[in-house]
Amino acid sequence: MLLRIVSWNCNMALHQKFERLLALQPDIAVIQECASPERDAARGRQLACSDRDWIGFNADKGLGIFTFGDLRLRRASAFSEAFALALPVEVIGRCRLNLLGIWKTDGRRLPAGTTNDLLAAFRYYHRFISAPATIVAGDFNLLPQQMSRRADQGRGDSIIELLGRAGLQDADTLRQTDLSTETLRRTYYQQRRPGRGFVVDYIFAPRCEADRLTRFDVGAPRTWLPWSDHVPLLVEFALTADNVFMRQAAAPPITS
């Protein structure tokens, strides 16, 4: 039994691109820049999914999580409106896991009293993302060197270190053995130009489950740039016979 998770910044108008998403056959999809369920319903749009959750301050452009098949969503009790575009949900059904969806945007557009500071969000949700079965996925809008940069003038953890202390690692490197030569695959193409590709989208998965990560892939620019300036990321895990996602105990809690 396989579990397939997709993350994609769809560049708005998801209802016009939903068949493209379905062609990837996701069990779970984390979608940035999609409309709210209320906006879709008001305009008669029917998106074929089993369940969905959404947050945002622009009804046409927020962060959505979709499930398919027998999987359902329950917003985590830890959810805080202080983090404008970080959505923690519990996925329930034939398997269970915690999922933190991410979309980092220009902070100048955020509602008063909210933040898009990813370090602050990951510190706040440290217990949630340190649970035994957790995925963190989305458009971080940060280059790899920014993901590895320490905050506070060199003190404190970088995002990579903070997620690492929760037992999570970038899925694009999870199966690589020689990390000194790792090359992350490009996910965002400025002005949809194939020669202007950057890595800003990530899926972080449990490091201890590397042997059950059966697939990590990103969409081909030629196929996906007509639809968005981002290409989708896809991970696939082999579940155990009883549909368990994780086998090991939780990572040590983050203390800072």
Could you give phi then psi for residue 189, rounded to 5 degrees?
-125, 110
Cα–Cα distance for residue pair 151/27, rounded to 1 Å = 35
What pLDDT, on the 0 to 100 scale, is given for residue 248?
Answer: 47
Are 205 and 167 contacting, i.e. CB atoms less than 8 angstroms apart? Answer: no
Could you give the CA distance from residue 113 to residue 83 in angstroms, rounded to a whole number?
A: 9
String of b and e for 205-225 (b: at least 16 CB within 10 Å)?
bbbbbeebbeebbbbebeebb
Q: Is the pLDDT of residue 165 over 80?
A: yes
User: Does residue 48 carry a pLDDT above 80?
Assistant: yes
**Distance, first Cα to last Cα, the chain:** 37
Percentage of the chain lying above the pLDDT 70 cut = 92
The mean per-residue pLDDT over the stretch 105-112 comes to 83
The three-class DSSP label of residue 223 is helix
Quick one: fold of 2-238? Deoxyribonuclease I; Chain A (3.60.10)
**For residue range 183-192, what is the model confidence (pLDDT) as tens digits?**
789 999 999 9
249 — pLDDT class (breaks 50, 70, 90): very low
Could you tell me which of 217, 239, 218 has the C-alpha nearest to residue 71? 239
Query: What strand order describes the sheet that includes 97-103?
Result: 72-75, 86-92, 97-103, 134-139, 201-206, 168-170
Mean pLDDT of the chain: 91
Q: Round to whole Å and give the CA distance between 16 and 107.
A: 28
Q: Give the per-residue pLDDT at 251.
A: 42
Which tens digits make up the pLDDT trace of 199-217?
999 999 999 889 999 999 9
Beta-bridged to residue 170, according to DSSP, are: 204
Categorize the per-residue pLDDT at 253 as very low, low, confident or very high, splitting at 50, 70 and 90: very low
